[in-house]
Amino acid sequence: MFELFIGMLLGLTISMTGVGGGVLMIPVLMYLFKMDPVSSVATANLCSMLMKLSSSATHYHLGNIPIKTSFIFLLTTAPTTIIGSYLISIGMKSNYANNVNIVIEGLILLAMASSLTIMIRNKLSSRTVTKITNDLAQTKPWYQIVFAGLFAGSVIGCTGVGGGIIVLPILIRFLNLNIKQAVGVSVFVTMLLSGFAALVYGLNGQTNVTLSIQLFAGSLIAIPIAHKLMKTISMQRLDNITLSLVILSVGSMCFRYL
Residues of the domain holding 248: 2-255
pLDDT tens-digit map of 48-97: 888 888 778 878 888 888 888 888 888 989 999 999 899 888 888 888 78
In the chain, the number of structural domains is 1
Cβ-Cβ contacts under 8 Å for 90 (sequence gap 6 or more): 204
Residue-wise pLDDT for 3-51, tens only, equals: 899 888 887 777 666 566 677 788 889 888 988 888 988 998 898 888 8
**What pLDDT digit, counting tens, does each position of 233-245 carry?**
776 776 677 777 7
Check if the beta carbon of residue 48 is closer than 8 Å to that of residue 190.
yes
Q: How far apart are CA 98 and CA 148, in angstroms?
A: 30
